[in-house]
C-alpha cells in the first residue's frame, strides 16, 4: 500500500507526523477513495467514509518511539490518526485526551463491582467533554486544507469544543444549535467568541439543513464535511483505556450513544490494538446507554434488529437527542460482534444517575453521563457483570454546563453568624434533619 500524505509540503521529515493513513474507505461496499476526496459519504451507499491505515507500517513506526517519549494526549499514537501535517497538529494544540481512568471504589461498592473504573472525559480539555477528541481531528484537518472558517451542528458539546479549538487556532467558528439544548452550552460558545445560531428544528433537521448549507456555501463543517477525520479522533479513548489498565482490555465498556460515533470508534480502536498485537481486546463487550426518550440504537440492539428506526427525541439528555444516528449501523455491528447489549433510562433515572456518581465519586456529570450511570446500574442489577470483572463506565461530559437543567437543589438558608446558631444547625445536619428551606 502506498501512503498518501495529504497536505504534505515539500521539505524535511519533521514537517510530517508519523501518521500511517492510506486513504478513505466505505465500510459497506469497500470502495476506496483518496484522502483528498471531498465526498464524506460513499456515493454508492450514502454512508459515511472511514479512514484506512497501513497497519504494517504502523507496527514498525510504533516500535520506533518508546512510550516514555510519547506525549500524554490524543496524539500519543499519531501513527493511527489521520493528520499528517505537524504544523496543523501543533496549531490545534496538545491538551485534549489522556483523561484519568479512576477506580470507582465507592460507586462500585454500591453496584457490587470491585473493579469498576470511570473514564473521566468530563475533565477533558479544553471544553470538558469527549468531543475535544473528535473536534481536535476536524480542526487539524481543516488547517491542513488551509481553511480559516469552521462550522458545526451540535447537540451541545461539539459547539463548545469547536468554539474553544477555533479560538486557539485562530479560525472563525459558526455553531448551529437545534431548538432545544442546555442554555449554558450556547453561552459558553458565545463567551469563547463563536458566532452562534439557534435553528428552529431538532438536531436531525438542523443536521440535514447544514449539509445543504455546506454545499451552498463551501463552509467546512466539523462533523459533516470533515466527518471521517472527526470520527477517528474518538478511537483515542480506546487506546487510553487499554493502556491505563496496563494493556489489559476490560471485560466491559458502558458508554452513552447519540450519533454512535464514540461507541463505534471504541470498537475500531480495540480492533486496531488487537491487530497491532498491543493487547488482546476481543473479549471486551461494549454496552450502549441511551435515554428512554431517544433510544433508536439501544432498541434496535434489544430487538436484534439490523435496521435503526429513527425516532423524534423527547428527553432531558439533550446531548443524546439524535433520533437518526448516522453511525448507528456500525454500533449495532460492534455490539453484535462483541456480545454487548443496549439499555435505556428515563429522565428521572438519568438525574438519579448524575446524583449517584456525584455522591460516591465526586464527579459532576451531565445527563449523558447520568444515562451511562443509570444503565450501568441496571446492567449490574440484572447480573450482566461478574462482581470482579473489570468494567469501564465512560463519563463523556461535565455537569457544570448543564446545572440549570438539573431538578432544583434548594439554595442554602442563611444562618446567624454566631457559633451557637451554627452549632444548632451543625447538629441538625449531623442527624440529617437540616433542610435548606427550613
Ligand atoms: C456528553 C456526550 N456524551 C455522549 C455523546 C454521544 O456521542 P456520539 O454521538 O458519538 O454517540 C455526546 C454527543 O453527541 C455528548 O455530548
Ligand atoms: Zn459504499
Supply the pLDDT for residue 58: 98
| Angle, vertex CA 51, rays to CA 50 and CA 57, nearest 5 | 150
Instruction: Find the range with the poorest average confidence among 4-8, 394-398, 407-411, 422-426.
Output: 4-8
Supply the pLDDT for residue 437: 57
Q: What is the grid cell recorded at 421?
A: 446558631
Q: Which-ligand-closest: CA of 135?
A: 1
> Residue 2: enclosing H or E segment and its boundaries?
none
When pLDDT is cut at 50, 70 and 90, the band that residue 40 belongs to is confident
Q: For the chain, what percent of residues have pLDDT higher than 70? A: 96
Average pLDDT, the chain: 94
Q: Does the structure show a pLDDT above 90 at 434?
A: no
Supply the pLDDT for residue 279: 98
Note the pLDDT tens digit of each residue in 275-321. Answer: 999 999 999 999 999 999 999 999 999 999 889 999 999 999 999 99
Distance 248 CA to ligand 1 centre (A): 25
Q: Which of 133, 319, 394 to mutate to test the pocket of ligand 1 (most atoms within 8 A of CB)?
A: 319
Distance 29 CA to ligand 2 centre (A): 4
Between 40 and 239, whose confidence is greater? 239
State how far the Cα of 381 lies from the Cα of 369, in Å rounded to an integer. 18
Q: Which-ligand-closest: CA of 39?
A: 2
Note the pLDDT tens digit of each residue in 383-413. Answer: 999 999 999 999 999 999 999 888 877 778 8
When pLDDT is cut at 50, 70 and 90, the band that residue 12 belongs to is very low
Q: For the chain, what percent of residues have pLDDT higher than 90? A: 89
Distances (CA, A) of 348 to 58, 274, 345, 412: 46, 39, 8, 23
Instruction: Find the range with the poorest average confidence among 24-38, 76-90, 224-238, 290-304.
Output: 24-38
When pLDDT is cut at 50, 70 and 90, the band that residue 187 belongs to is very high
Q: Which atom of ligand 1 is nearest to the CA of 265?
A: 10
Contact partners, residue 188, CB within 8 Å, separation at least 6: 127, 160, 163, 401
State how far the Cα of 65 lies from the Cα of 71, in Å rounded to an integer. 11
Q: Which of 396, 398, 405 to mutate to test the pocket of ligand 1 (most atoms within 8 A of CB)?
A: 396
The architecture in CATH of the region 101-126+231-405 reads 3-Layer(aba) Sandwich (3.40)
Distance 233 CA to ligand 2 centre (A): 22
Q: Which-ligand-closest: CA of 121?
A: 1
Q: Which of 165-169, 428-432, 433-437 has the highest mean pLDDT?
A: 165-169
Note the pLDDT tens digit of each residue in 350-367. Answer: 999 999 999 999 999 999
Distance 320 CA to ligand 1 centre (A): 6
Phi, psi of 175 (to 5 degrees): -110, 125
Q: What is the CA radius of gyration of the chain?
A: 22
Q: Which residues does a 6 A CB cutoff place in the pocket of ligand 1?
A: 129-131, 155-157, 256-263, 319-320, 366, 368, 396-397
Distance 279 CA to ligand 1 centre (A): 26
**Residue ranges of the domains in the chain?**
101-126+231-405, 411-438
Distances (CA, A) of 34 to 4, 26, 39, 108, 281: 8, 12, 10, 47, 30
Q: What is the mean pLDDT of residues 324-339?
A: 96
Note the pLDDT tens digit of each residue in 148-164. Answer: 999 999 999 999 999 99
Amino acid at each position: 500500500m502506498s501512503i498518501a500524505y495529504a497536505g504534505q509540503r515539500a521539505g524535511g521529515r519533521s514537517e510530517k507526523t508519523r501518521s500511517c493513513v492510506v486513504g478513505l474507505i466505505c465500510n459497506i461496499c469497500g470502495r476506496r477513495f483518496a484522502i483528498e476526496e471531498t465526498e464524506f459519504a460513499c456515493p454508492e451507499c450514502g454512508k459515511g467514509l472511514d479512514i484506512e491505515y497501513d497497519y504494517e507500517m504502523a507496527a514498525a513506526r510504533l516500535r520506533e518511539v518508546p512510550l516514555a517519549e510519547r506525549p500524554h494526549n490524543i496524539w500519543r499514537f499519531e501513527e493511527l490518526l489521520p493528520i499528517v501535517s505537524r504544523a496543523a497538529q501543533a496549531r490545534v494544540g496538545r491538551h485534549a485526551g489522556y483523561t484519568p481512568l479512576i477506580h470507582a471504589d465507592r460507586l462500585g461498592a454500591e453496584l457490587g463491582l470491585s473493579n469498576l473504573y470511570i473514564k473521566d472525559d468530563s475533565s477533558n480539555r479544553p471544553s470538558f467533554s469527549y468531543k475535544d477528541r473528535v473536534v481536535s481531528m476536524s480542526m487539524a484537518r481543516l488547517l491542513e486544507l488551509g481553511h480559516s472558517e469552521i462550522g458545526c451542528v451540535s447537540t451541545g458539546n461539539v459547539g463548545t469544543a469547536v468554539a474553544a479549538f477555533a479560538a486557539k487556532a485562530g479560525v472563525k467558528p459558526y455553531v448551529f444549535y437545534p431548538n432545544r439544548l442546555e442554555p449554558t452550552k450556547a453561552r459558553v460558545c458565545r463567551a469563547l467568541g463563536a458566532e452562534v445560531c439557534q435553528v428552529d428544528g431538532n438536531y436531525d433537521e438542523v443536521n440535514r439543513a447544514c449539509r445543504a448549507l455546506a454545499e451552498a456555501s463551501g463552509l467546512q463543517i466539523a462533523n459533516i464535511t470533515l466527518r471521517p477525520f472527526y470520527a477517528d479522533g474518538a478511537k483515542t479513548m480506546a487506546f487510553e483505556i487499554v493502556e491505563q489498565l496496563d494493556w489489559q482490555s476490560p471485560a466491559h465498556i458502558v458508554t452513552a450513544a447519540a450519533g454512535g460515533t464514540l461507541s463505534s470508534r471504541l470498537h475500531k480502536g480495540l480492533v486496531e490494538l488487537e491487530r497491532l498485537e498491543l493487547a488482546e481486546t476481543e473479549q471486551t463487550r461494549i454496552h450502549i446507554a441511551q435515554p428512554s426518550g431517544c433510544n433508536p440504537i439501544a432498541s434496535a440492539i434489544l430487538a436484534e434488529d439490523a435496521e435503526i428506526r429513527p425516532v423524534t427525541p423527547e428527553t432531558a439528555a439533550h446531548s443524546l437527542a439524535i433520533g437518526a444516528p448516522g453511525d448507528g449501523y456500525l454500533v449495532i455491528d460492534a455490539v453484535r460482534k462483541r456480545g454487548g447489549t443496549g439499555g435505556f433510562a428515563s429522565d428521572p433515572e438519568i438525574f438519579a444517575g448524575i446524583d449517584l456518581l456525584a455522591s460516591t465519586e465526586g464527579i459532576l456529570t451531565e445527563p449523558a453521563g447520568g444515562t451511562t450511570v443509570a444503565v450501568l446500574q441496571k446492567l449490574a442489577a440484572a447480573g450482566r457483570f461478574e462482581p470482579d470483572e473489570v468494567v469501564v463506565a465512560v463519563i463523556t461530559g461535565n455537569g457544570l454546563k448543564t446545572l440549570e437543567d438539573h431538578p432544583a437543589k434548594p439554595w442554602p438558608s442563611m444562618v446567624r453568624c454566631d457559633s451557637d446558631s451554627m452549632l444548632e444547625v451543625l447538629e441538625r445536619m449531623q442527624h440529617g434533619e437540616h433542610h435548606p428551606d427550613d
